[in-house]
Amino acid sequence: MKKNIIAVCDSDAEYACNFAEYLNNKKKLPFQAEAFTNAQTLCDYAGKNPPEILLIAEGDVDSRVENLGAENLIVLSDERDREEEQHKCVYKYQSAESIIQEVMTYYANSSSPAFYAMSERRMSVLGVYSPVARCGKTLFALTAGQLLGETKSVLYVNMEEYSGFGELFSMQIEKSLTDFFYELRCKEGNALHGVQELIRPMGKMDYLPPVESPEDIREILFSEWMQLFELIRKNSRYEIMILDVGNSVEQLFRVLNLCSRVYMPVQEDLMARCKLSQFRKLIKSWGAIEEERIREVRLPAFQPEGRDNNLIEALSWGKWGSCVRKVLEKNGEFKGAGKP
């Protein structure tokens, strides 16, 4: 499928070329980036190949560029919080990921038909759950996301009472799933735009900032989770969605039943074995989910030594990363990697 064009124009050739190269290395973006170092070459190209999005340094905007009539023209500003009446402005010297996030949020809100037609691929849903505490469940889910994200587009959704993300990753979260579900109930704004505004990058995958308190998780109905998942499935480019499921989720077994596979980290101590046995008896007596879809996982010890990106990078390597990769390979999660 031919990708839409995102044009990057800046008389600073190094900036334009490096940023375009970064965009092209982001396999999850449904765009092909082209770099330009002056308005004339941009206009010559755009006359035959109109870009879906045009990112241009404020010093390079002139009458020729204005006359292109680009629907999604975004100015790369040298100043923070710069505002223009005519065009959206993005601060150009922030991280590339932050620029992409702002651009994609603006693009979603522009209601461009191309955005809604990006893809309707069949998305596989993987669950990570355990009735046993402190078994490495979330670290396994995060590692799986990083490993699968090497070749596929992955979205991670944390459904726990306490994710710990704010402290672990030093996050300043402006909006979270708490806000999304509140707006969904109040019918405020466009639900799809609400999801797109939430999505954030984390290493080789994306994620939705988790809820802020355990009460929030307990109040979310199964039907509301389904609305969220359907919005993602129908309107996103993700090939895999990983659900990191906690015990307070409403209709837990129905959530697990949404997953093609459920990875269940376990431990070998007495209480862990008793809890696991109780869980197995429940799903068998209730007919909640086929046992063959559940994969027990025994993980090596892993003590995170860093935070933020250092932790995310460390997850994929060493004994821990190798173990998780083998589990995923054994269950065929890498099949079809790299194929459209």
| Mean local confidence (pLDDT), 246-271 | 91
Label residue 247 by pLDDT band (50, 70, 90): very high
Same structural domain, 100 and 245: no
Same structural domain, 178 and 320: yes
Label residue 104 by pLDDT band (50, 70, 90): confident
Give 32's DSSP letter: E
Number of domains observed in the structure of the chain: 2
Same structural domain, 94 and 224: no
Q: Enter the pTM of the model.
A: 0.69
Separation of alpha carbons 282 and 50, rounded Å: 58
Same structural domain, 140 and 90: no
Helix (H) or strand (E) run with residue 264 in it: strand 261-265
The pLDDT value given to residue 132? 87
Same structural domain, 129 and 262: yes
The pLDDT value given to residue 326? 95
Domain-ending residue, one of 65, 85, 116: 116
68-86: per-residue pLDDT in tens?
A: 877 789 999 988 877 766 7
**Domain CATH for 227:** 3.40.50.300
Find the domain containing 171 and state its range. 124-330
- Please report which residue ranges of the chain form alpha helices under DSSP H: 13-24, 39-48, 63-66, 96-109, 113-116, 137-148, 165-168, 177-186, 191-198, 214-219, 222-235, 252-256, 270-286, 308-315, 318-330
How far separated are the first and last CA of the chain, in Å rounded? 9
Label residue 268 by pLDDT band (50, 70, 90): confident
> Is residue 336 in a domain?
no
The pLDDT value given to residue 120? 47
Measuring CA to CA, which residue among 78, 57, 50 is closest to residue 13? 57
282-306: per-residue pLDDT in tens?
A: 888 877 788 888 999 998 887 666 5
Separation of alpha carbons 43 and 122, rounded Å: 38
**Structure-token match 């889910």, residue found:** 141
Same structural domain, 183 and 250: yes
The pLDDT value given to residue 118? 44
Burial class (CB in 10 A: 0-12, 13-18, 19+), 240: buried
Same structural domain, 8 and 91: yes
